[in-house]
Every structure is written in structure tokens, then in C-alpha cells.
Amino acid sequence: KAGVTQTPRYLIKTRGQQVTLSCSPISGHRSVSWYQQTPGQGLQFLFEYFSETQRNKGNFPGRFSGRQFSNSRSEMNVSTLELGDSALYLCASSLDGLRTGTKLYNEQFFGPGTRLTVL
């Protein structure tokens, strides 16, 4: 089974531009989460999508947005790029579904990341 894929792997943009990153989850996975990794702030949760709906959101400005398609592929968009947006963006997918009260754990599998550099 193919793992989580992210495209592109590397991206260079200039301040003020916008960028779209893509994440294809493992087949059958319906939850996709996005994380930003920087040397200063570490790994921070951006948002999570499940069945085309944003289910959780981290503390990032509105310039960061995302969406999920019916095939569970997800995109995240950053508008009006700033130098501080330079980071490794990771996505993770999971089987997670609706639970009925019993404990249910589904591992999150991470993609290789997209390295975004803002000049």
C-alpha cells in the first residue's frame, strides 16, 4: 500500500505570493492533518480535515487555509507569504472514523513533507 505523498517536495516563493501544497493520504484514510515545522517554533498543528470538513484548527492566521476533496486528498494554501512561513510542512493521514464509545486508536502516518522557502 502506498504511503502518504506530498507534492511538491520543495518550493521557493517570494514574499507576498501564495502557495498551494498537496497531500494524498493512504488509500482508505479519511483524516488528513497538517503540521508546520520550523527550527524556532517546532512542530505545530495547523488543521485537520475529515470527510471534506475541517474538524480541528490550530492557532494560525487566516492566511493559512485548507480543504479536502471527496477522494480524501487535501490541499493547504498560504496566501500573502511572509518570511516566517518558511518551514517544512508535514501532513499525516489516519483511518479515524466515528467512534461509538469504545476506545479506538488509529495511527497517523506522516508524509515526507514539503520544504517551503520564502525569499
Partner 1 sequence: AQTVTQSQPEMSVQEAETVTLSCTYDTSESDYYLFWYKQPPSRQMILVIRQEAYKQQNATENRFSVNFQKAAKSFSLKISDSQLGDAAMYFCAYRSDGEGAQKLVFGQGTRLTINP
Residue 56 forms beta bridges with which residues?
48
What does the per-residue mask of binding to partner 1 show for 34-73, with x meaning CB under 8 A? -x------xxxx--x-x----xx-x---------------
Q: Any residues with CB less than 8 A from the CB of 38 and at least 6 apart, and which? A: 44, 84, 86, 87, 88
CB of 80 to partner 1, least distance (A): 25
Q: How many residues bind partner 1 (CB under 8 A)?
A: 27
Q: Which of 33, 68, 72, 74 binds partner 1 (CB under 8 A)?
A: 33
- Backbone CA torsion sign across 60, 63, 68, 74: negative
Give me the phi and psi of 99, to 5 degrees please: -105, 155
Cell of 43: 512542530
Q: Considering the rule CB under 8 A, would residue 85 count as an interface residue with partner 1?
A: no
Q: Which stretch binds partner 1 (CB under 8 A): 12-20, 60-68, 78-86, 104-112?
A: 104-112
Contact 72, 33 (CB under 8 A): no
Which residues of the chain form contacts with partner 1 (CB under 8 A)? 31, 33, 35, 42-45, 48, 50, 55-56, 58, 88, 90, 92, 94, 96, 98-99, 103, 105, 107-108, 110-113
